[in-house]
Structure 1
């Protein structure tokens, strides 16, 4: 929090509206234009870390290290050293004198960003489409080994926000699907797998970052405000974050956008209130890149400023580093807050064992050459040397990458059993997206084009391909008679025979709004939910020529298929999602019947865009002032909205076909714990370290004599005159405009509070549900997806809830014809609860009521139901939607 200065309320005060400005920072004033019912209630101060018993040892050891640090060392490690001022996407400062190194932060959603000798994994949306917990975890384990092998301390993932509320959202493909439980379980497994290698995971983006356009604060406009009511926040968007923290995520990244009018990076309700009090988060909170801004981020709970620069990163300036040193000396940021944020960082580093034998960073994001500048943004003054050791970390990770890509392939149609194909059948492959980009797989920076195989979206979450196994190469390896037409317009072809099969490839792309691709500004604002490159026309033209057409769709999310889905010639449709580097064999294994398709949709596909509410189909546009995106649909996104309004989707959430058939029988439900209206209280908090400390002398804030500074590198030191001036300001009794509601008294726990995710009793298992799954087919083995949805009781004491809600899922092993297995799923206390906005707690609205637990293989194919009140189960029921 900066010293008070001159009040500015003009159109030039662009970033923050009416605020207080001085050279040392600025103060955010009243928020404007947010609807009255959406409030970012102030929550101060930041709850101390260290009270979770599982973190106690790490905090004790960290506190001993922090106690030895100088003021400048503390402020140095809580910020990045500047954009392109180190080897990694982000590089923290260090405190080498006491043994704390510079930490390397690395993207992305598909592997190690901007590195060589790595695996290009299928991204989150593909992983979610597997509906396979073991495979989700195996992918994460492989990714964790690669990040560790490259010397990345902190993985900037997983992404569970955006959750997929808006089908056109640009970064939906980085997450796992348009449902909080699918996101939660996949995100938690990803955290668990990556962190087993000692790499710190970063669950992101907190919260409401559901579109790319207008998300960021910039010199001409405030960032979009996601206006979310408290119940919707908890039951939809916060749900996967709670699971991720319970899984032990060491870091959380805030979003670019505001929530209820308050920028996420300094939203005290989100960070102090929900994250660190209610959800008991013990790790550290970082800003997204360049989202930090002047204002009260430190006292709102931010712990790490990334990448360190101001929002315009050209001048070697920072809102923290030396400024945070100044704020501590002048008394505007309390010492206990600085000590807490510093201890959180060191404790997390220690908890994951990075103080012992963690590899040094061995690559540089700016070059694939061995020799380069250490600090490219300091050119021509940067020292240079060896920056890339070409460490190979791929091992056999292509196997799990291929398995994910293969088991995600979702068959939506297979008339006349056209699939699987015989390898001797004549095949006409049509579409430029069956081959690798002719310009090279990495020709477009950050994959910011839609040329060739679409293995990932674009933006910061991508990796460089070491190779692509493209579909046409794989098809040619397998089939005897293949002709390829690398065009997105129907080519001139010989007169087909009745045996000819056309395989048509179409795509839909999206990404981060740092790039515009074919007039799509990150979000699919130009092409919408239609296939790119006139893909619908290509399918229709091919269907007019051939009597047997297979459509293969590589896509970031749902597309509309109505123009061609019912054409008689379109016999089969495969959604291959985004396959990463293993696009070829993963597809041909399904095409030629080596395996049955077993993917299921992680979102719904509607007949038309207007089947969903305008609040999710329309992207928020430009506004004078702050753009407002009000989540007026509340709990009702994707299948929840369709079911509530009796709208049938073309293909439902969770839908997917196989080459065989499965039966679900012999369902049972077993109570495990007693269900009560409210959960038992969380265990008491352990004592926290003593973070209090007198403000240090100004001597701790100045650099050593004759220290040489690298231009544009961010340092935490002040000049002697600035340091003395800051102390003098405090001694003269200057006061500071702390936000309304600010207090220094530590907060009491919220009713739902608990360590690392919230009250642990919310995860008590209330019921086990088991079902026998049998492969009822005669010819093909296959894997079944078992999905469990809850239907709440009816009654005046039960608030409005979606008709059904996913609560758990499992995938079987590969079952041979006639083979059967028993699958057991769990229902927790939270699964049967709603968020009570009055008591601020999870409440089971009708403990004695009849919760109907539906079992099936998609949200609209539910075969069995079990009842919590009677313990009975029955089959042969009509699906509730």
Structure 2
């Protein structure tokens, strides 16, 4: 890596170019040793020197037999052994998808469902792709329910449980009548079915993926934040005829909701992301209260422009778009800094029970001072190139597979003698000075010293056992810092009427900022505050990191300030 300079050209940045760069001195031989060592370390780490399995999976095709060098069309044989390595993955996938679903609205506690008399299901996102779960190459479409984005990082579904299939199974078990309309444009029939149901379940979607494929005019990223497949109209049409309309959104990120979120008949809204093969089962687990839902990993804005970046519809250079995201002020940090009211803030999510945060204690831990690192990297073992260009030509009779990258030279004249050099110290075989912030994997070990321990008391004040996602944010206090940043979270189970203590640790890294002058992490003298609560804007517990704590928490109406009338005591 990296591979071709252009897709399918076989012309690599490295391969024989790297060989030439070593021979002409542009890249030291000991740097090549380091590259090889990093690769072979992984080889030995996973035991491939002792136990190796023949390759039995081809990413180009699902055929059992075919070309082993698929793109070059060479080497016919067994290429897909169809080895089943799933084990109990489905159970974990279902749990993750359910616990990752977020309830955004639940008017009158219409959820969880309690064996309703009759339910109606609406929207093509509820049902199967007519061509099957893998009917679109690399999942590059939005036909049927959306459970995975598209691109080279996708996988083939072994199966896909649609919401409609899972809801039918649940309805049969409960004795519930179930009807459905999965044509997103059959508005007349939606009206007829919606008027009969005691709960109308609407499934809407958006889709995104990798930029090499265009789906409905969207090259990778979405070109807007609206719903696909007539989603807004489906919601409005059903809500106009059903006073208990429950909306589930499958999408790769935020969608705008202002057209319908406050409709009085839209009683519940769930964001279910891209849940994977157990999609239907996971959403049923949440709708019927078998699993406690999760919290938002991003902010949902009222307007697309609220995110603080200009919308880019075309690349601003020859290959990949470049977007200035404004330094540290990304997502909730931008909203807080500019006091923009979101529709749903980062970390938000409703629960099936109620919670009370009523105690915070900060304990300072004497970790000792932070010591900048001043060592050097090890000296190189090899410093001289012993091979000649002639010795690195392709071996005689060697068969080159088309489009493959090889380290051998085609001809000695490929080694250019005017190689470009890097920084002078990059060529020092005696090693280089380690930066003050370095010294170990992950940086200076002192960054991970624990400086504070924060204990909070949480009570489940409802009538159901539940799970809460406790979130800890820190304010570093400088004017150019974000108002506060997430520095920890815990998902904890608490039985109804019971309390628990949740413990967080704060490291030196958690309260440090990067200093460009010294090229190191520093802790500024500004006062540091810690906030704990249910979301980035629901933080009832506040304390100073010198051990003081407040009686009044963070005001949701003023994202840059503490609650009115804050008092501190030891």
TM-score (norm: length of structure 1): 0.59
Distance 1:675 1:878, change over 3 A: farther
Alignment of 1:791 with 2:475, yes or no, is: yes
What is the deviation of 1:625?
7.2
Say which SS state the counterpart of residue 383 (structure 1) adopts: strand
In structure 1, distance between residues paired with 2:492 and 2:158: 32
What is the deviation of 1:686?
6.3
Selected match of 1:872 from 537, 548, 558: 548
Distance 1:627 1:552, change over 3 A: closer
Say which SS state the counterpart of residue 817 (structure 1) adopts: coil
Alignment of 1:755 with 2:440, yes or no, is: yes
Say which SS state the counterpart of residue 427 (structure 2) adopts: coil
Q: Deviations over 1:162-218 (max 9, x none)?
A: xxxxxxxxxxxxxxxxxxxxxxxxxxxxxxxxxxxxxxxxxxxxxxxxxxxxxxxxx
What is the deviation of 1:738?
3.2
Selected match of 1:673 from 366, 372, 375: 366
Alignment of 1:488 with 2:184, yes or no, is: yes
Distance 1:385 1:652, change over 3 A: same
Q: Deviations over 1:810-849 (max 9, x none)?
A: 1103x22113222111211011111111111111101xx5
What is the deviation of 1:671?
1.4
Selected match of 2:381 from 681, 690, 701: 690
Say which SS state the counterpart of residue 812 (structure 1) adopts: strand
Aligned to 2:269: 573
Distance 1:843 1:712, change over 3 A: closer
Contact 1:328/1:695 (<8 A) preserved: no
Alignment of 1:464 with 2:156, yes or no, is: yes
Aligned to 1:767: 452
Alignment of 1:12-91 (within 5 A): none
Contact 1:596/1:660 (<8 A) preserved: no
What is the deviation of 1:499?
5.8
TM-score (norm: length of structure 2): 0.90
In structure 2, distance between residues paired with 1:816 and 1:534: 42
In structure 2, distance between residues paired with 1:323 and 1:448: 35
Selected match of 2:292 from 596, 620, 624: 596
Selected match of 1:823 from 502, 507, 513: 502
Alignment of 1:544 with 2:544, yes or no, is: no
What is the deviation of 1:349?
2.3
Q: Which has the higher contact order (CA 8 A, sep 6+)?
A: 1
Distance 1:312 1:649, change over 3 A: closer
What is the deviation of 1:497?
5.4
Runs of 4+ deviating beyond 6 Å: 624-628
Contact 2:15/2:405 (<8 A) preserved: yes
Distance 1:811 1:617, change over 3 A: farther
Alignment of 1:505 with 2:207, yes or no, is: no
Alignment of 1:330-729 (within 5 A): 330-379=24-73, 382-479=74-171, 480-489=176-185, 490-492=187-189, 493-494=191-192, 500-525=198-223, 528-597=224-293, 599-613=294-308, 616-619=309-312, 621-623=314-316, 629=322, 631=324, 633-674=326-367, 679-682=370-373, 684=375, 687-719=378-410, 722-723=411-412, 725=413
- How many residues are aligned here? 549
In structure 1, distance between residues paired with 2:183 and 2:331: 34
What is the deviation of 1:540?
1.0
Contact 1:640/1:804 (<8 A) preserved: yes
Alignment of 1:88-487 (within 5 A): 305-306=1-2, 308-314=3-9, 316-379=10-73, 382-479=74-171, 480-487=176-183
Distance 1:777 1:584, change over 3 A: same
Distance 1:841 1:709, change over 3 A: closer
Aligned to 2:568: none
Contact 1:423/1:478 (<8 A) preserved: no
Contact 1:620/1:627 (<8 A) preserved: no
Contact 2:425/2:432 (<8 A) preserved: no
Say which SS state the counterpart of residue 434 (structure 2) adopts: coil
Q: Deviations over 1:299-335 (max 9, x none)?
A: xxxxxx24x4341424x44333233333333444332
Aligned-residue CA RMSD (Å): 2.4
Aligned to 2:487: 807
Structure 2 unaligned blocks of 5 or more: 560-570
In structure 1, distance between residues paired with 2:426 and 2:137: 47
Distance 1:545 1:414, change over 3 A: same
Distance 1:557 1:622, change over 3 A: closer
Distance 1:581 1:610, change over 3 A: same
Structure 1 unaligned blocks of 5 or more: 1-304
Aligned to 2:537: 860
In structure 2, distance between residues paired with 1:425 and 1:683: 72
Structure number, greater radius of gyration:
2
In structure 2, distance between residues paired with 1:792 and 1:660: 33
Distance 1:330 1:752, change over 3 A: closer
Q: Deviations over 1:432-475 (max 9, x none)?
A: 01112111111111111011111111111111101011111111
